[in-house]
Structure 1
Amino acid sequence: MSASDTSFSTSLFETLTGDAPGNVKELSDSAAQHEPGSFLRHVGSLSMTKLADGLIDPKLVLSWLMQAVGAPAALVSWLVPVRESGSLLPQLFTAPHVRKMPQRKWAWAAGSLIQGLAAAAIVVIALTMQGMAAGLAMLVALGVLAIARSLSSVSYKDVLGKTVDRTRRGTTTGIATSVSAAGVILFAIVLMTGVVERMSLVIGAISLAAVLWVAAAALFSTLREEDQPGEDKGSIGLSELSLLWKDADLGKFVIARVLLLPTALAPPYIVLLAAQAGDNRFGALGAMVLASALASLLSSYIWGRLADRSSRKVLIFTGLVAAAFLALAVVLGWSGLMGTIWASPVALFGLMIGYQGVRLGRSTYLVDMSPKDDRAAYTAVSNTTVGVMLLAFGAASSALAMAGPEMVLIVYAGICVVASGVAFTMKEVSE
């Protein structure tokens, strides 16, 4: 890196973080010296991958695309479970292999590259196949993408912990989330205006996502990550589950994270409640994408800064925020107001603000509470456990939904309140 690059990186670093380089708590001298450049590389890489995630969103974009190519509805219903569980469940088994790597940035870069290739495969499938065959092929490609995402996820927090100091990690994620949200908002606006034929726009968006993942892999590979001896603690991933009861702090964190799952699972039930009330306008693809992206853009940087001060308090507060807006959705439904033009957007927007806080708070808390040499293992145990519980939540919610979406939202609101209570008892790790 040239002197001018270093000067620019340092200046931009100070502007974004409000802090001076070298003011670190746990980085090595070498890592502290290169922290401004590392910080910007993290922001750039995460911005691209988060934007790619928004452009290929299985809940919205891929669901519409599968229907457009004539895939059966039964296959469409598998998109979110494949995406979410595929991203989380493999991590317990990939973590031992990641820990053997002296530089774990290569695991993240490989995962991002494979995600790009999988997204490109989805584009090819959409252009060349129809019906059941197209649906099955897309699910396979999405499964590959999800597994690759798990590789990036299990390695990322360890690399972040080695290259960016603890007081700035939440800011890193918050900035990237806000930048990517701006791009998704632009995509949503174009969708809503109809200036571009919808099929062409969706195909173009997924193609762009593929390019972004590949570019992020290239950028992330330039990080200055210090070598460390590869660890070999055994290849039986299930043995890592003992961390849940050996480390009470990790166990309590995982319980809180599981109890906050309704923030991710509730949006479809709000949309269903609105549709039953006659607000079909908000079911449009563009409006859904816009609501989620606006919440991300307006809240992520603030949540990130707050998480750097106390990620535990962020988890407490976001659970209460989510519970409040879930309860609001139920009240609006019971009062007959959910069919108005403002009701469902307000409820979904507020819930998504809480969801963004949960994502940033849990990520920052896990990095800060994990032992320096075991971050990959702690991340894998947490994510794999949550992946299993995600499937259980999904099955239970589907059964509960037979009593109506209001019942699901009431239960979800109660669970979020309990989650805040559990987070209140967690150890403070941001000091």
Structure 2
Amino acid sequence: MATRPDLDTLYNALMDEEDARSCADIPGSACTNVPTNFFRQVTATALTGLGDALTNPKTTLAWLMGMVGAPVALIAWLVPIRESGSMLPQLFIAAQIRHLPLRKGVWILGSLAQALALVAMGAVAWLTEGTLAGALIIACLIAFSLARGLCSVAGKDVIGKTVPKRRRGRLNGLAGSIAGWLTLAFGAACMIWPPGDEDTLFYSALLLGGAALWLAAAWVFRGIEEEPGATEGGRNGIAAAFERLQLLRSDAPFRRFVIARALLLCTALSAPFYVLMAQELHSGVGMLGAFLIANGLAGSLSSMVWGRLADQSSRQVMISAALLGSLMGPVVVLIDYLGVLPEALHAWLFPVAFFVLGVAHSGVRIGRKTYVLDLAGGTRRSDYVAVSNSVIGLVLLSTGLFGLLGTLIGAGGMVLLLSLIGLAGAILALRLPELSMY
């Protein structure tokens, strides 16, 4: 398919390309379709990014579970299931995907399945209540997370085959910025027109809106021109999955990357504790809107910058972002402990810190996504993504124990602990090989 002139011009402007287009690390026959494929994947990723914001387990789903009267024990499983449920099965999913020379169909299937799970979740919220509603929402979330795993493995492989090296960071960055601005608008709307505390219809409609976003993303993704990829090594079954785990033993750079990525989870795990520190000041509902706006601003303002920097050195982006998030924690805890700010400003310390943490998390996410694509190269890309995501899924499940530790050392203590872990991740990332500059 020939590239439209307007898309070609826009792509060249974004990439600072004039005459010769870079097509490093992709098939030569895919070079002509790069601009169209680039913007289709930006659009699809931005749509699902907004969908993730609308169905966030830390906000929307938690509030919804509370409104339907679900037990607290079920609510506590929302975040671990949402994140690890999409990662743990990837080691086994990758073996099946490797049978397929074209993988965009897997992404489309995963997107449609996520939409179906959200529709079911909205129906459950509208028609049931109590423990039954909570259990059914959890079941829908498990199905949603499994489908998300399909998109994660297939999506990175499609990007690796259709977008050149040193252009993938900008793809993730641009999509993150667009999703961030849309999330910002949603957060502002919630501050101006807050839903009622018992408005189940609003949250059910929000889930249906999220489903529509995944349907739209699937429609956009189907237009990507993907070249057939390698299918060797596509055995399925548990044996093939455990063989892929041998990469952790035999591939030292990949092993260091997985360990560093696990340590850098601190930028995601710290976020709820900043919210808890603000709640301890008895902040009102308006402060929740401020956190939503801070999160949207962080993604929209920083993602393109991180993406461009990741194309120069994704390793340096991971290190810089981890240091930003880790060094901010002790500063915020110290200011809070000393109480040096006027009372009117003290509560706003936490949305500001949440914004900085969001900037750091955006950098870590874009840096590690770009790094693993560049590290893997052609035929091992799906294996690298599946192994690293499966290991991180196990780590995320284990972080449920942090809730017990938090009762002993408090939210501030957890911020300090996670900051130390993030600092260790930044130090380990210094030992990773440099990739993007070569």
Q: Is the TM value for this pair above 0.5? A: yes
- Please report how far the alpha carbon of residue 152 of structure 1 lies from its aligned counterpart in structure 2 after TM superposition: 0.6
- Kindly provide the amino acid, as one letter, of the partner of residue 276 in structure 2: L
- Please report how far the alpha carbon of residue 6 of structure 1 lies from its aligned counterpart in structure 2 after TM superposition: 1.6
Q: Write the distance in 1 (CA, Å) between the matches of 2:302 and 2:410.
A: 30
SS in 2 for 1:166: coil
SS in 1 for 2:226: coil
SS in 1 for 2:306: helix
Q: Write the distance in 1 (CA, Å) between the matches of 2:57 and 2:146.
A: 15
Q: Write the distance in 1 (CA, Å) between the matches of 2:250 and 2:293.
A: 43
Q: Write the distance in 2 (CA, Å) between the matches of 1:347 and 1:24.
A: 39
How far does the alpha carbon of each residue in 1:74-132 deviate from its partner, in whole angstroms, 9 at most, with x for none?
Answer: 21111101101101111011010011111011111111111111111111111111111
Q: Write the distance in 1 (CA, Å) between the matches of 2:108 and 2:263.
A: 31
What residue number does 1:210 align with? Answer: 211
Q: Write the distance in 1 (CA, Å) between the matches of 2:414 and 2:176.
A: 29
How far does the alpha carbon of each residue in 1:11-30 deviate from its partner, in whole angstroms, 9 at most, with x for none?
Answer: 22123332246222222221
Q: Write the distance in 1 (CA, Å) between the matches of 2:246 and 2:163.
A: 29
- Please report how far the alpha carbon of residue 400 of structure 1 lies from its aligned counterpart in structure 2 after TM superposition: 4.4
- Per the normalisation by structure 2, the TM-score is 0.94
Q: Write the distance in 2 (CA, Å) between the matches of 1:49 and 1:67.
A: 25
259-268 vs 223-232, greater mean Cα deviation: 223-232
- Kindly provide the amino acid, as one letter, of the partner of residue 185 in structure 2: L
Q: Write the distance in 2 (CA, Å) between the matches of 1:328 and 1:121.
A: 44
Q: Write the distance in 1 (CA, Å) between the matches of 2:252 and 2:427.
A: 16
- Kindly provide the amino acid, as one letter, of the partner of residue 277 in structure 1: L
How far does the alpha carbon of each residue in 1:348-377 deviate from its partner, in whole angstroms, 9 at most, with x for none?
Answer: 111111111110000000000003101001
What residue number does 1:11 align with? Answer: 9
SS in 2 for 1:52: helix
What residue number does 2:314 align with? Answer: 311
> Are 2:278 and 1:274 aligned?
yes
Q: Write the distance in 2 (CA, Å) between the matches of 1:386 and 1:9.
A: 37
What residue number does 1:422 align with? Answer: 428
Any residues of structure 2 matched to 1:6-405 within 5 Å, and which?
6-20=4-18, 22-194=21-193, 199-235=200-236, 236=238, 237-281=241-285, 284=288, 286-336=289-339, 340-396=346-402, 398-405=404-411
Contact 2:371 2:435 survives alignment (8 Å): yes
Change (3 A) 1:206 1:15: farther
Q: Write the distance in 2 (CA, Å) between the matches of 1:330 and 1:17.
A: 40
Gaps of 5+ in 1: none
Q: Write the distance in 1 (CA, Å) between the matches of 2:230 and 2:413.
A: 52
Q: Write the distance in 1 (CA, Å) between the matches of 2:340 and 2:328.
A: 14
Contact 2:115 2:215 survives alignment (8 Å): yes
25-34 vs 75-84, greater mean Cα deviation: 25-34
Q: Write the distance in 1 (CA, Å) between the matches of 2:48 and 2:422.
A: 28
Change (3 A) 1:93 1:35: same
| Percent identity for Structure 1 against Structure 2 | 37
SS in 2 for 1:373: coil
Contact 2:26 2:164 survives alignment (8 Å): yes
Equivalent residues, number? 428
Gaps of 5+ in 2: none
- Kindly provide the amino acid, as one letter, of the partner of residue 331 in structure 1: L
SS in 2 for 1:44: helix
SS in 2 for 1:11: helix
Q: Write the distance in 2 (CA, Å) between the matches of 1:135 and 1:393.
A: 22
- Kindly provide the amino acid, as one letter, of the partner of residue 313 in structure 2: S
270-279 vs 379-388, greater mean Cα deviation: 270-279
Q: Write the distance in 2 (CA, Å) between the matches of 1:318 and 1:195.
A: 33
Q: Write the distance in 2 (CA, Å) between the matches of 1:396 and 1:48.
A: 32
Contact 1:328 1:347 survives alignment (8 Å): no
Q: Write the distance in 1 (CA, Å) between the matches of 2:286 and 2:326.
A: 22
- Kindly provide the amino acid, as one letter, of the partner of residue 175 in structure 2: A
Contact 1:60 1:289 survives alignment (8 Å): no
How far does the alpha carbon of each residue in 1:5-56 deviate from its partner, in whole angstroms, 9 at most, with x for none?
Answer: 6212202212333224622222222111110111011111101111111110
